[in-house]
Amino acid sequence: MPTKILRIGLIGAGMAGQAHAFGYRNASMADPLRGVQVELAHVVDAFAPLAQDVAERYGFEKWGSSVDELLADPSIDAVSVALPNNQHVDVLTKVLASGKHVLTEKPLGLDGSQASQLAALAADPARKGTVDAVGFSYRRIPGLAALRDAVAEGAIGEILHFEASYYSDHAADPAVPFTWRFEASTSGGGALIDIGAHALDAIEFVVGPVREVQGANFATYITERKDATGTVRPVTNDDAAAVLLVAGRNAMGVLQTSRVAYGRPNALTLTVFGVRGSATFSTEDFNQFTIHLAEGDPRFDGPRRVITGPLHGAYSDVSSFRSRGVGTGYGEAFIAQVQAFLGCIVNGTQMETNFAAAAATMRILDAANEAAATGRAVPVETGAHA
C-alpha cells in the first residue's frame, strides 16, 4: 500500500503540459519516491477538446477548461502550469492563493517585475510548507549534471571563461504561422527569453550567478508572418540574440541563441574553460560529455568522452535500464524534474529552481534588454540564485 498519495492537476495541455504529464506518469521510477502514489486528477485547457485528448491519453480522471474549478478541488495537492508567458501572473496568482504546491514552466512571467511579484507571493508566510518551482528541465540531464559536478569538485579548476549557445530552427521557415511567441507583449521576448533562458540557467547551474551583462545585441530576420487566418502580422521580438556576460567568481562568457538556425533543431551547448582543463556538454550528444584535464603525458592528451550512466545525476531514477550506455532523452529530463518536485513535497523542502531563483534569471534578461538598448554594461540586480 502507498504511504502517501499525491493528486495532480495540470493547467495547459499543449506540448509543454504533455511533457509534464509524461513526467508524472513515470515519476515513481525514483527510489526516493518509493511508496508515493501519483494520481492524475484533473487537466484543463482553454481549448477543451485538447484537455480531453490529454486526459484520455495520459490517464487524468477529469478534464475541462475551468482553472477555478480545478483549484477549488481540495483533493488536488499540486498543480503544474504550462501556459503562454502573458498568462502566468493571473493564473499563478490564483494557484499560489489556493495553497497548493506548484510547478510552472519557464519563464516566470514576461519580465523581472512580474517574476518578482510572483516570487513575493510565493514567499508569503501563509504558504509556508508549500513548494513553488519553475521548470528548468535541462539541468536534470545527466550529462549536464555531471559537468556541473566536475566543476564544483574542482576537476578543471577555477573557471576563467565560458561559451554557451542554444540554437533551434523551429521558426526558420518564414511560412511558420504567427503565434503568441512572435509578439513581445504576449511573450516578453523572442529567442532569448524562450530558449535562451535555458542556456542562462545552464550557465548559472555550472559557472555560478550571472553578475553583469556587458553587452547585448538582438536581431529579427523574419519581420512579419501570417497568422492562422492569413492576416499578415509584424514580428515584434528577436529571432536571435548575442549576450556578453560575467558569471561566477569573475568568468567572462558569451551566450548566443537563435530560433532560425537551420539544421540545429534543438541544440543547447555549454563549454567551460578552467585553469586546469575544460569541459563541454551538448544536447546534440545527449548521453555524453567531454572533459580535458591539462596534465599527464602531452603526447596523449585531449578531450575525453565520458558516456553517462548511473553515477551521473538522475540517470538511475529515469533510465529504463540502470546501466551505463543505455541512455536517456529529453522526456527523461521532465521525469527527473517532476521527481525533484514531488520529492520536495514529500520531504518538506524547496526546489533549487524556486520562484525566487527564476526571478533572478528574469533580471538577467532585463539587463540584457537594457544593455542592448543603451550600449552600456548593466549589473544584474542581486537576488536568490540556484
What whole-number distance in Å separates Cα of residue 2 and Cα of residue 35? 5
- pLDDT score, position 383: 57
Identify the H or E element spanning 4.
strand 4-11
Domains, the chain, in order of start with CATH, read 139-320 (3.30.360.10)
Give the model confidence (pLDDT) of 358-381 as tens digits: 999 999 999 999 999 999 999 998
- For residues 193 and 203, give the distance between their C-alpha atoms in angstroms, rounded to a whole number: 14
DSSP string covering 19-35: HHHHHHHHGGGSGGGTT
Query: Residue 163: beta bridge partners?
Result: 254, 271
How far apart are alpha carbons 287 and 325 in whole angstroms?
Answer: 8
Task: Write out residues in the chain with pLDDT < 50, as ranges.
Answer: 385-386
What is the pLDDT at residue 386? 46
pTM of the complete model: 0.95
- In angstroms, the Cα distances linking 224 to 52, 164, 171, 238 are 34, 28, 12, 12
Query: Nine-digit cell at 145?
Result: 549534471
Please count the CA atoms within 13 angstroms of the CA of 196 that sit on its side-chain side: 28
* Euclidean distance between CA atoms 192 and 366, whole angstroms: 11
The full DSSP string for 323-355 is: STTS---HHHHHHHHHHHHHHHHHHT---TT-H
State how far the Cα of 15 lies from the Cα of 254, in Å rounded to an integer. Answer: 30
Burial class (CB in 10 A: 0-12, 13-18, 19+), 350: middle
**DSSP character for 366?**
H
**CA 354/CA 385 separation, integer angstroms:** 9
Contacts of 252 (CB under 8 A, 6+ apart): 160, 161, 162, 214, 244, 245, 246
The full length of the chain comes to 386
Cell for 208?
555560478
How many CA atoms lie within 13 Å of 291's alpha carbon, on the beta-carbon side? 19
Residue 171: predicted pLDDT: 98
pLDDT digits (tens, 9 = 90+) for 131-186: 999 999 999 999 999 999 999 999 999 999 999 999 999 999 999 999 999 999 99
Cα–Cα dist 317/313, whole Å: 9
